[in-house]
Amino acid sequence: MRIAGTLITVGMAGLLAGCISSRSETVRAMSADLMKNGKVANIIVKSVPPNASAAFASTVQSQLRESLDLCATGSEALDLEVAITEFKASDAGMTILVGDSNNIKGTAKLTRGGETVGDFDISRSVGAGGIAGAIIMSNAEQNTAVGFATEVCERAFGRRPAPRRR
């Protein structure tokens, strides 16, 4: 009976294994005043990698808008310029067998009146394994765009976006 319980536990762990990794860096931090009082008025996604879909830039822009409206609620208008330099979607078969990850890298530069007030290198990876991992990571572009937007909020404004209510 102990063997059956152990096998069930190991099997469930295989279905649910996963992790989130961030290797983002602050190139130029925003002032404490802008972190508190800033809001992003304009978002420009300058580039996305060729392996992403035609809709990816729009997905990144809409996720940034949704997240930044929740984490940057001040009155000082800033512009955000984003370049996505790397995107990798997990392979469902590899995820089930040995695990895989969705990855996104890029830059986020905040400006005010043409002057750079914040500059960030964003890198986020979400890995998982097993059947549940493959299901969770199936919408790679949407999931990485949300992760990128969350990283921008945390790096630039020092807080995560408020929970989204649907």
Rounded to 5 degrees, φ, ψ at 136 are -60, -40
For 3, the token pair is: 């063997």
Query: Looking at beta carbons, which pairs linking 157-163 to residues 24 or more positions away fall under 8 Å?
Result: 157/30, 157/35, 157/38, 157/71, 157/72, 158/35, 159/71, 160/71, 161/66, 161/67, 161/68, 161/70, 161/71, 162/70, 162/71
Q: What is the DSSP letter of 50?
A: T
Contacts with 109 (C-beta within 8 Å, 6 or more apart), sequence order: 80, 81, 82, 116, 118, 119, 120
How much of the chain is in helix, strand and coil states, percent to nearest 5?
40, 35, 25
Other CB atoms closer than 10 Å to residue 113's CB: what's the count? 8
8 A C-beta contact, residue 145 and residue 59: yes
pLDDT of the chain, 166 residues: tens digit per residue: 565 444 344 444 444 556 766 788 999 999 999 999 999 999 999 999 999 999 999 999 999 999 999 999 999 999 999 999 999 887 677 667 777 778 899 999 999 999 999 999 999 888 777 877 677 767 888 988 999 999 999 999 999 886 655 4
At 110, the amino acid letter reads L
CATH architecture assigned to 2-157: 3-Layer(aba) Sandwich (3.40)
**pLDDT attached to residue 18:** 64
The predicted-structure confidence for 72-100, as pLDDT tens digits, reads as follows: 999 999 999 999 999 988 767 766 777 77
